[in-house]
Structure 1
Amino acid sequence: MQVFERLIDYAEAERLVLENSPPLPAEERPLLEAQGLALAEDVRAVFDSPPFDNSAVDGYALRSADAVPGRTFRVVDEAPAGRPARRGVGEGEAVKIFTGGVIPEGADAVVMMENTSGWGEEFELGKEASPGQNIRRRGEDVREGEVILRAGTEVGPYEIALAAAQGYGALPVRRRARVVVLSTGTELVEPGRRALSPGEIYDSNSYALVAQAREAGAEARRLYAAADDPGAIREAVAGALESADVVVTSGGVSVGEKDLVRSAMRELGVEQVFWGVRFKPGKPLFFGARRDARCFGLPGNPVSAMVCFELFVRPALMRMMGRVDRRRPRVRVRFGEDVKNRFGRMHAVRVALERTGEGWTARSVGSQGSGIISSLTRADAIALIGPGAEVKAGEEVEAILLREPRGGW
């Protein structure tokens, strides 16, 4: 039987994953296709925005020095958006102007139509005006050459609006990582196909891992579960390596006789970065690389697979896709009772959170078994308890948020 060559600490495993998961190549994508992707480089303003002084309202552009209530003004021109007035304004004159219209020469204020006697060739002013009133100044939004969007920013509706306002038709982004997920085991049955025979289970892992990858922003697909046969596993892994940036398997990476995935990966040229982490649940985690592909061999137990994805695969995907927010938010939490880690490795405890006057209080969601899938549906976070640690009630530990706490922020 094989044994783990060297178990490494959680922090070292996390570091090695990030160091060996370089960003994907940058590419230009049309604005709407860039949505949800991360910028590969800073984006700068091409020109001042707005590019000229313009009106914030519909009304009249005039000289504020003339703006005495009760005075009558003569309308000499008009300035709708997109067509500047041909004339400027002098004493007692005004230009009819609409929102976005260019401020005419000589004018330093715009009065709202509601504060006049109405539209016409002349009008009576009902309220005084001050210099700059209702005028949007050139460059008050952004200045030419200014960085308007930082590398690593996720492109959303507001970023698209700003880029479009600067004339960008496309943006430099990191594409979505392509993830292929494979579950192994002769005991696996496709959900929805048929009833289970004795000793069989439904394949939940590949569905969960694809969902986690998509939630992280990657493109992900499943391969049919391979049987516990070296040839079948090797063929499945080889197919995944041909098309994926990241290959994720569950099962077949521990030290048992039937754990064949790691061997198949090594035979196909995957260079092992590490195998085995002082971490619960997830001791047999495998990580390796072949050319541009990264390979994660996750444990076969469902909770172990999903927790390892959150703590190792997800950060790798964030880095590859150029996301600044590579990790889930981390918070300090307090347990309401003493907690002891009786294992000689980091323990990721599934907890529910409650906001109190002293901060976040954590409580275990119940059994921490690696097959208790329902525990993750009740968990708000994963609290990290060090090897052999005894955490006293009220003592702070670090926790990784999986979702917004059910009680809210």
Structure 2
Amino acid sequence: MLTNILLEEARELLVNNIIALPGRSISPETALGRVCCQDIHALHDLPPFLQSAVDGYAVSTGNGADDKHYLLKESLRPGDYPGFSLKPGQAAGVVTGGPVPSGARAVIAQEFTELKGGYVTCLSKVNQGDNLKQPGEDFHSGDIMAKRGTILSPGLIGALAAYGVSQIKVFQRPKVAVLSLGREIVPYHQVPAPGQTRDSNGIFLAALVEQDGAEVTAVETVGDMEPVQVKYRLEKLLRQADVVLTTGGAASGVCDQALNAIRLTGARPLFWGIKIKPGSHSGAAVLKSKLIIALSGNPAACATGYHLLATPSLRALQGLNPEPVRLVAVCKNTLLKKGGPRRFVRGNAFWHQNKWQVSFGPGQKSSMLRSLINYNALIDLPAGHPPVEERQEVSIILLPSCNPWDY
């Protein structure tokens, strides 16, 4: 087991021990936000036939015909398919998205026409191809609509529905259990006795897990269980989840039990301790194909450890790139703290005046909850950094909750 290692080493150890989960087929109605586990190809040209882009008249021009006046041959309604073709000088009424007859060279929007005595008069210039949507304009047969690892968006789901796709193969959602360690920790809905603390970390982690596309199977506490009982509880959660997150007890004090409980299960520790603040008391282990990530019990340290270790792991399990989104941003305020190990500070990032900007959130102590209420970025400050000044450029990691227009 490696100890007190660099963050990048820890993340590499985690990702190298992960195999993406198998795929399953689901309906489009439940596919939003899920991840394609195979390339998706267009089944045929879309649209499959020549379409009108507007309500109006399809016309056939050329061969010396009058390009202003057209004999109206027929008017098509929604759902009609033309069983005729147009000759030069003829027109047919068409609707938006409807098929146009063969021989049509353009469609004139209805508002630029006049219908009188069975003839359509064009009130504007007609150019060949106007308002025509060609077969395959969206996709040609065989085109890749989405690659493996694509997150299904509303637009992609709608495009697949246009092909009649009723089942989409996606990666299974990782199942995650959360276990809060510590004799003093009680379930959040329980009234704590003097000296006890409600388990806010467990519910917080469960929300982050859902945000990362995974499924929460349990949120539990161990209270004053004996070590062997903690082992049994951990083993139970490992049977029902792909990943178990523990929070608390990850330091080296006499009452810290995370590493001992993990070893009792037979899991193989990968690392323990990383060179960052907050979140230095974090570790990980594997048991067969299952992953255990141990996080600090301090709220802000727990959050930082989750974003830097658990999020990449859950992304890798879903076939996504585990690397975080990094940007350079300009600070909107100052941070007086300086020196020490590499530090990750919670902040709010936004796009303004053609650049990314970020402000440090209040309440940055590891033990404080305040900075967790509204943040969407981690500001990555190198070891030994000086105080951060306003308008200074810094490296930031965008989190899934980031809304660049929220400022």
Q: Same fold (TM over 0.5)?
A: yes
Q: Is 2:343 the partner of 1:347?
A: yes
Q: Partners in 2 of 1:340 and 1:361 — Cα distance?
A: 20
1:383–1:61 distance in 2 versus 1, CA, 3 Å? closer
Q: Partners in 2 of 1:87 and 1:251 — Cα distance?
A: 76
Q: Partners in 2 of 1:348 and 1:54 — Cα distance?
A: 54
Please list, as runs of the form range in 1=range in 2, the aligned pairs for 1:215-254 lying within 5 A after superposition: 215-228=211-224, 229-254=226-251
Please list, as runs of the form range in 1=range in 2, the aligned pairs for 1:71-150 lying within 5 A after superposition: 71=69, 73-118=70-115, 121-150=118-147
Q: Is 2:368 the partner of 1:372?
A: yes
Q: Is 2:122 the partner of 1:162?
A: no
Q: Partners in 2 of 1:80 and 1:361 — Cα distance?
A: 53
Are 2:328 and 2:393, in contact at CA under 8 Å, matched by a contact in 1? no
Question: Which segment drifts farther, 360-369 or 216-225?
Answer: 360-369
- Which one-letter code corresponds to 2:386 in the other structure? E
Are 1:351 and 1:383, in contact at CA under 8 Å, matched by a contact in 2? yes
Q: Report the Cα offset of residue 326 of structure 1.
A: 4.9
- Which one-letter code corresponds to 2:181 in the other structure? T
Q: Report the Cα offset of residue 378 of structure 1.
A: 5.4
Q: Is 2:296 the partner of 1:299?
A: yes
Please list, as runs of the form range in 1=range in 2, the aligned pairs for 1:8-407 lying within 5 A after superposition: 8-65=5-62, 66-69=65-68, 71=69, 73-118=70-115, 121-194=118-191, 196-228=192-224, 229-324=226-321, 326-334=323-331, 341-343=338-340, 345-351=341-347, 364-366=360-362, 368-377=364-373, 379-390=375-386, 393=389, 396-402=393-399, 403-404=401-402
Are 2:217 and 2:240, in contact at CA under 8 Å, matched by a contact in 1? no
Structure 1 residue ranges without an equivalent (≥5): none
Q: Report the Cα offset of residue 353 of structure 1.
A: 5.7
SS of the counterpart of 1:249?
strand
1:213–1:103 distance in 2 versus 1, CA, 3 Å? same
SS of the counterpart of 2:276?
strand
Count of aligned pairs: 402
Q: Report the Cα offset of residue 341 of structure 1.
A: 4.1
Q: Report the Cα offset of residue 117 of structure 1.
A: 3.1
- Which one-letter code corresponds to 1:206 in the other structure? G
Q: Report the Cα offset of residue 384 of structure 1.
A: 1.9
- Which one-letter code corresponds to 2:131 in the other structure? N
SS of the counterpart of 2:269?
strand
1:178–1:354 distance in 2 versus 1, CA, 3 Å? closer
TM-score (norm 2): 0.88
Q: Deviations over 1:208-248 (max 9, x none)?
A: 10011111111114333112421321121011100111100
1:233–1:138 distance in 2 versus 1, CA, 3 Å? same
Q: Partners in 2 of 1:320 and 1:388 — Cα distance?
A: 35
**What percent of counterpart residues are identical?**
28
SS of the counterpart of 1:117?
strand
Q: Report the Cα offset of residue 61 of structure 1.
A: 1.9
Q: Partners in 1 of 2:52 and 2:205 — Cα distance?
A: 53
1:239–1:328 distance in 2 versus 1, CA, 3 Å? farther
Structure 2 residue ranges without an equivalent (≥5): none
